[in-house]
Amino acid sequence: REAATAKYIQQNTKIPTPRVLYYSDFSDVGPFIIIERVENKSTLSHALTTPGVDRSITHALDPNISQTTLEDLCLKVANIIFELSRHKFTRIGSLLEADDGSFSVGGRPITQNMSDMLQLANIPSAIFSPEYKTFQSSDEYYLNLARGHLVQLIFQHNDLVKSADDCRNKYVARQLFRQLAKQGRLSTFGFAEDDWSALARTKTSKLLPAPSNSDSFRLYGDDFRPGNILINDANEV
């Protein structure tokens, strides 16, 4: 799925990405991807952080960075996001590549939260939706997310709650999210059609209409952050 997405972006956008040379699900070491090396100076995080600070600690925006540099880097990232937003799909899921080189949404969505649940919380993979399950509407996907949130509360034994009150609050929040997903309200939250939330009762500016609930899904990476963006000597991303 990662390799197919990388190849799709390389072939269908102007976003500079490393070329995928080969990938497979089957080897003695498990699934793998071989990609070309990208020469770089550092990551975007390092370009934005205070100079001279230990790179192993959390990044903080350099207070002395010039407005011109900041705007230039932000514009380049915005252009990448704009490129990604131009590609629409009729289902929610992950991309797969066919033998003829075509791409389609054929696998379940892969999220950072799912990865953390598997690696850090030791939650069994059988809990997730089937490997090739995709979703035809955002409401359907929100309901699946609600199920995953409850599963995490049940299975994760460490570092999830701090007290009985904290556990109760997180349980109630997950049930409320699940109820709103069942009612189809989450797909309109924050948009012009939102007539139910507290935000809707206090909004003072005109909101955009909600996107289609069934045929306008875009490429999205929930770990797309400065630390995962490489830059060269000319500060090109």
Instruction: Please report the DSSP string for 174-234 in residue order.
Output: HHHHHHHHHTT-GGGTTSTT--SSHHHHH--SPPPPPPPSSS-EE---TT--GGG-EE-TT
SS3 assignment, position 155:
helix
How much is the pLDDT for 178? 95
> What local confidence, expressed as pLDDT, does residue 117 receive?
85
Q: Select from 95, 191, 177, 195 the least CA-distant residue to 139.
A: 177
Please report which confidence band the pLDDT of residue 55 belongs to, taking 50, 70 and 90 as the band edges: low
CA distance 194 to 201: 9
pLDDT higher than threshold 90 for residue 122: no
> CA-CA distance, 35 to 62, in Å (whole number)?
32
Q: What pLDDT sits at residue 133?
A: 94
- Asked whether residue 134 carries a pLDDT value surpassing 90, the answer given is yes
Residue 172's pLDDT band, with cuts at 50, 70 and 90, is very high
Q: Can you tell me the mean pLDDT for 169-197?
A: 93
**Is pLDDT at 235 greater than 80 in this prediction?**
no
Tell me the three state secondary structure of residue 83. Answer: helix
| pLDDT at 89 (0 to 100) | 94
Q: What percent of the chain has pLDDT over 90?
A: 51
- Check residue 55 and report its DSSP letter: T
**Cα separation values, 180 from 127, 134, 173, 186, Å:** 22, 21, 11, 6
